[in-house]
Structure 1
Amino acid sequence: MNRRQFLATAALSGLASACGSSASGAASDPAAFRTELRVPPLLQPKVDKDGTRRFALTMQRGRTELLPGKPVETWGFNGPHLGPTIRAARGDRIRMTVTNRLDEASTVHWHGMRLPAKMDGGPHQTIEPGATWSPHWTIDQPATTSWYHPHPHGETAEHVYRGLAGMFIVGDRTEAELPGTYGIDDVPLILQDKRFAENGSPTGDPLKGTFGILGDHILVNGTHAPFLNVRTERVRFRILNGSNARMYHLSFADRRAFHIVGNDAGLLPAPIQVDQVSLTPGERVEVLVTFTAGEQVLLRTLSGADDIDEGDFDIMKIVAARRLTASPRPPARLAGPAPIVAPPNAKVRRFRLNGHDAINGKEMDMSRIDEVVPAGAIEIWEIENTVYAHNFHIHEVAFQVLAVNGEKPPAYASGHKDTVYVPPKSTVRLAVQFGRFTDPATPYMYHCHILRHEDSGMMGQFVIVEPGTENEVPRTINAHHM
C-alpha cells in the first residue's frame, strides 16, 4: 500500500476494542500476559582485513502478528517488523549497507550517534527504492544505548509507526561492573503504542490531530501483552521510547525501587535509586532491577498531567525463575562521561516552539541553514515552549539539562542526553557540547521528537564549521544534492 491507501484503510476500519493493555482492564490480571517477549536478534557483522565491521540492513515489507492470530502487513529491517540490535564498541570502524526494498524513499538516522553529517541519515540522505546507502564512521563516544529509525521529511511518523526501528548499543570497558549478557541479564525494551483495526492492522493517521497517534495498546519489542522469564538476580533493561507521541511514566506494580545507571548519551556518575522514571519519544534509559526467586511483577505506565501520557497501562509481566543466578550489587560509582560545563562567555541560542509546526516562527526548510556552530563549542540553548507538550532532540551532540523553568532536573536526568522533555509553557536550559566533524554544506537537525510535530515543520538545521569561519558560511544549500 502507498500512503493514500494506508490512510484510506485506516479510516474505513473500525477500531478494535482494548484487549489487554489497560491497567483497568484484562491486563491487570498477570495471566493475560501469554506471549513470550521477543528479544531482537543481534546483527552479526562481517569483519574486513583492516578490522572494519560491516553491518547490512534491508528495509522491507512483511507480515507480523502484532495481535495474536491476526497477521498483517508491517515494515521492518531484515525482517517483517522492527530490526535487529546492532552492537559495537568504542574505537570500532563501522560501515553500514542500508538497502531500501520498499516502494517509496526513506532514510535511516542513527539517533544518538556522534558522526559526520553526511553519515547521519537525516532527511538529506535519502535512499530511493532499490538503492543502497553506505555510511561509515569510527565510533568515538561513551557507552550508550542509541537507536536507528527513518527520518524522511514529512514521512517519519508513518515509517516509524509501520515498524522501522531498532536498537544500536555502544559498549566500552567502563561498563565492566554492569550486566552485559545480551538477552539474559541485558535486555532491550522498545516501547511503542498502537491502535488496531478489527483485522489487527495498525490504524490511525500519524499526522492527524495535535499529537498524531496515541495508541490504546502498548507493544514491547513488537510483542503484545508479553511476559519475560528472568534467570538472574539483577537485570539491566535498556528502555527506548520508540512511540510516535506517547510519554511513559514507568514503574512496577509493587512500586519497588530500582536503579537508573544511564540515559540517552551515556552512563551516570553513580546509580540513582527511584521507583518511577519518565520518557518522552526518542529518550532512552538504562535501569537495574532486582528480582526475588519465584516472584512475578508487572511493569506499567501511569497517566500524568499532560495530553501525551493519558491512560494507565500494564506493559509487561516479568517472571523470576525459582532459582536465580547471583548478580553483583549495583556499583557505588559509574564511569560516566565528564560533566558538560559551559564557559562563562558561552554563546546563548534561544528557540521558541510555536504550535506544532514551527521553531522561532519558521517551518522547516530543507534549503535553509538556521544556525552555524563552531566545531567543539559548548553553548547554552534555551528552549521555550509556548503551548502544549513538546520535546527536543539535537542530532550529533550530547547535552546536559541545566534547568526546567529555573529548577534542576531530576538526578537521573542530569547526565548526558540528546533528547529532553519540554513541558507545556516552560523553558528548558541546556549546556550543549558539539563535535568536531566540520561540513559547511551538510546540516544536522534539531526538532521536536513528537513525530507528528517533526513532520509538520517543527525542525531546524545547523552546520558545524571550523572556528572563525561562521560568517563565511552560506545560509542556503541545495537540498537535492547532499
Structure 2
Amino acid sequence: MNRRTFLALAALSGATGTAGLAAGCGSGTGHHPAPPPLDLSTPLRIPPLLHPPADLDGVRRFELIMAAGQFELLPGKPTTTWGFNGAYLGPTLRAGRGDRIAMTVRNALPEASTVHWHGMRLPARMDGGPHQLIAAGHRWTPTWTIDQPAATTWYHPHPHGATAKHVYRGLAGLFLIDDDHDAELPTGYGTDDIPLILQDKNLDDHGRIDGDPLKGPFGILGDRILVNGTYNPRFDVTTTRLRLRLLNASNARMYQLAFADRRPFHLVATDGGLLAAPVETGTLALTPGERAEIVVGFDPGDNVVLRTLDTGIDIGMGDLDLIRFVAAEQLRPAPGLPAGLPAPAPIVPPADAKVRHFTLSGRDSINGRPMDMQRIDEVVPAGAVEIWEVENSTGASHNFHIHEVAFQVLNAQGTPTGGHKDTVFTPAHTTVRLAVQFGPFSDPVEPYMYHCHVLRHEDAGIMGQFVTVAPGTESAVPRTYAGPAHAH
C-alpha cells in the first residue's frame, strides 16, 4: 500500500487492517435459526428518490412520516417494522448546495422520537438531536439552507436513551447533497449511482426482529445482513462502472468491505465529501455512521460478490456475503474516472488552535462523566478550527461522531490527511487527533452532540454536548441547558 492510499484509508477508519469494532461481544438474545446458504438472487430494493422541485419562493419542501408498518425482512414472513414514508427505512432525499429546505416530520409512532440530519451543516435548533423531541402524534418543521460541498449524508432518530431501538427497528435513510462543482462521476440514481445501506439483524423463526439493542456491552451483532432492507440481494449491472454510496447503518457492526475476486476499486468520497483524487484500494473499513463512495469497474458477464471480511473476532462468523453484482453481456460505456476531484479545502488548524481532549474510559462516559441533557460540556466560538484529541483508553474499540462539523484526521506532524469526515474509528488504546471545523451558527442555548456511534454506547452515556457562540462570548454562556422541552 502506498503512502497516499494509507493516509486516505486511515482518515476513513482511523486505522487499516484493524479488528472488528464489536470485539466478539453481544450478539443479541433468543433463538435464531442458522441462516441458510445465500444465493444472492433477490433483486436489490432501491429506496425511492424524493427530490421535490423548488417552489416559486425557491424552497424545496419535504415531508417525512415516521410510522410502524409491515415489511418482509425475510421473503414471505411479514413483520412489524418502523420506517419513514413506508414500512422500513426511508426515501433517499436529494437537494443541492444553496437550496432552502423546508422539512415537515410527522410522528405517527407510539412514542416520541427525533430525526437527526447526520452530516448536515445546519443550526443546532434544526439538527434533530435529543432536545428536538417530537411527541407522538405531533410534527416538527425545521428549515435551513444547504451550504456545504456535495456529500452522502443520512438521517435517523436521536432520542436520548432510545436511539439504538429506533434505528434497529428500521428508521434510517440517505440524504444526498449535490453541488455545481461535483465531479464527473456516475449520477444515474438506481442505475449507475447506487445506494447501499448496510445493516445486520437478528431474526427469529418468523422473520421478526429479535434481540435487545441495549443488551450486552455492544448491543446487537446480527446474524443476517440486509442491504437497503433486502436480504440475499443481487444487483444487475448495465454500465461499465458503478458509483456505490455506502452507509454503515448498523448499530454496532464494523464492515471490512472487499470483492470476492479481490478486484480493486477507487475510493472517491468519505463522510463529508469528495477526496482530492481517487484512491485505489481493495478493502474499505466502515464503522457505524460512516459513509463512503467508491467507483468500481465491470466487464460484460461479470458475476462478483461484495462481502465483509472476517476480522477474526466478530462472533466467529467468517466472511459474510453482502450483495452479488451480475453484469449484462453488453454494458453501456461509462466516462473515465477523473484524475482529480473537486474536494473541499483542507482543514488546517491555526498555530494557536485550542486543543480539547476527550477520553472514552468505559461504556457509559466521556471524561468520566455520563451524558447529562442539562449540562453543556463545551462552549466553542462559531467558525473556529480546533484540535480535538479523542483518546480511547479502553481495550474495546469505539468510534466518535461530532454533529454539524467537518473534520480531518491529523498525522503525527499535525497535517490533515484524507478527506472530510464527521465520524471516525477510535481503536482500543489509541488517540485520534482531529482538525475540527465548526460552522458559522451561533446559539448559546441549543446544543450539538458528540458521541460514540455504537448506538448502545450512545444510549448508555458516551455522549456530550456543546454550543457554538459568537467569538468572545464563551465565558458568558451558562453551562446548564436553558431551553424548553421541545415537545411539538
TM-score > 0.5, shorter chain as reference: yes
TM-score, structure 1 as length reference: 0.93
- Please state if 1:54 is matched with 2:54: no
Superposition deviation, residue 211 in structure 1: 0.4
- The residue aligned with 1:113 is 120
- Please state if 1:278 is matched with 2:260: no
| Equivalent residue for 1:385, pick from 376, 387, 392 | 392
Question: Is contact 1:294-1:321 (8 Å) kept?
Answer: yes
Alignment of 1:383-422 (within 5 A): 383-387=390-394, 388-403=396-411, 406=412, 414-422=418-426
| Equivalent residue for 1:169, pick from 172, 176, 199 | 176
- The letter for the 2-side match of 1:389 is S
Alignment of 1:175-190 (within 5 A): 175-190=182-197
| Equivalent residue for 1:476, pick from 465, 470, 480 | 480
Q: Provide the C-alpha distance between the structure 1 equivalents of 2:310 and 2:413, rounded to a whole number of angstroms.
A: 23
Question: Is contact 2:382-2:442 (8 Å) kept?
Answer: yes
- The letter for the 2-side match of 1:194 is K
Q: Provide the C-alpha distance between the structure 2 equivalents of 1:481 and 1:97, rounded to a whole number of angstroms.
A: 19
Q: Provide the C-alpha distance between the structure 1 equivalents of 2:443 and 2:302, rounded to a whole number of angstroms.
A: 54
Q: Provide the C-alpha distance between the structure 2 equivalents of 1:99 and 1:316, rounded to a whole number of angstroms.
A: 33
String of CA shifts for 1:289-317, please: whole Å, max 9, x gaps. 00001110000001225659964201000
Question: Is contact 2:360-2:390 (8 Å) kept?
Answer: yes
Higher relative contact order (CA 8 A, sep 6+): 2
String of CA shifts for 1:351-373, please: whole Å, max 9, x gaps. 00011110000000001000000
Question: Is contact 1:231-1:320 (8 Å) kept?
Answer: yes
Superposition deviation, residue 245 in structure 1: 0.3
Question: Is contact 2:152-2:175 (8 Å) kept?
Answer: yes
- Please state if 1:17 is matched with 2:55: no
- The residue aligned with 1:4 is none
TM-score, structure 2 as length reference: 0.91
| Equivalent residue for 2:167, pick from 147, 160, 170 | 160
Alignment of 1:446-461 (within 5 A): 446-461=450-465
- The residue aligned with 1:5 is none
Question: Is contact 1:245-1:308 (8 Å) kept?
Answer: no
| Equivalent residue for 1:300, pick from 297, 307, 317 | 307
Q: Provide the C-alpha distance between the structure 2 equivalents of 1:186 and 1:287, rounded to a whole number of angstroms.
A: 10
SS in 2 for 1:121: coil
Question: Is contact 2:32-2:205 (8 Å) kept?
Answer: yes
Superposition deviation, residue 407 in structure 1: 9.2
- The residue aligned with 1:467 is 471
- The letter for the 2-side match of 1:93 is R
Q: Work out the percentage of aligned pairs sharing the same amino acid.
A: 62
SS in 2 for 1:358: coil
Gaps of 5+ in 2: 1-27
Question: Is contact 2:183-2:341 (8 Å) kept?
Answer: no
Which consecutive segments of 4 or more residues in structure 1 shift more than 3 A? Answer: 305-311, 406-409, 478-482
Q: Provide the C-alpha distance between the structure 1 equivalents of 2:51 and 2:346, rounded to a whole number of angstroms.
A: 34
Alignment of 1:285-434 (within 5 A): 285-304=292-311, 311-387=318-394, 388-403=396-411, 406=412, 414-434=418-438
String of CA shifts for 1:209-248, please: whole Å, max 9, x gaps. 1100001111000000100001010000000000000000
String of CA shifts for 1:384-419, please: whole Å, max 9, x gaps. 00111100000000000114xx5999x9x7110000
- Please state if 1:91 is matched with 2:98: yes
- The residue aligned with 2:42 is 35
Alignment of 1:54-73 (within 5 A): 54-73=61-80
Deviates more, 1:44-53 or 1:268-277: 44-53
| Equivalent residue for 1:226, pick from 224, 228, 233 | 233
Q: Provide the C-alpha distance between the structure 2 equivalents of 1:190 and 1:340, rounded to a whole number of angstroms.
A: 28
Superposition deviation, residue 376 in structure 1: 0.7
- The residue aligned with 1:435 is 439
SS in 2 for 1:57: strand
Aligned length: 458
String of CA shifts for 1:303-347, please: whole Å, max 9, x gaps. 225659964201000000111000111100000001000011100
Q: Provide the C-alpha distance between the structure 2 equivalents of 1:423 and 1:83, rounded to a whole number of angstroms.
A: 31
- The letter for the 1-side match of 2:477 is V
Alignment of 1:231-250 (within 5 A): 231-250=238-257
SS in 1 for 2:420: coil
SS in 1 for 2:348: coil
SS in 2 for 1:455: helix
Superposition deviation, residue 479 in structure 1: 5.6
Question: Is contact 1:307-1:389 (8 Å) kept?
Answer: no
- The residue aligned with 1:3 is none
Deviates more, 1:170-179 or 1:338-347: 170-179
Question: Is contact 1:248-1:309 (8 Å) kept?
Answer: no
- The residue aligned with 1:130 is 137
Q: Provide the C-alpha distance between the structure 1 equivalents of 2:277 and 2:443, rounded to a whole number of angstroms.
A: 36
Question: Is contact 1:393-1:419 (8 Å) kept?
Answer: yes
The 3 A distance-change label for structure 1 pair 361 and 73 is same
The 3 A distance-change label for structure 1 pair 213 and 295 is same
Superposition deviation, residue 69 in structure 1: 1.2
Superposition deviation, residue 49 in structure 1: 1.7
- The letter for the 2-side match of 1:438 is S
Q: CA RMSD in A?
A: 1.7
Superposition deviation, residue 127 in structure 1: 0.5
Superposition deviation, residue 262 in structure 1: 0.2
Q: Provide the C-alpha distance between the structure 2 equivalents of 1:78 and 1:280, rounded to a whole number of angstroms.
A: 27
- The residue aligned with 1:79 is 86
- Please state if 1:194 is matched with 2:194: no
- The residue aligned with 1:209 is 216
The 3 A distance-change label for structure 1 pair 338 and 209 is same
SS in 2 for 1:193: strand
Question: Is contact 2:303-2:325 (8 Å) kept?
Answer: yes
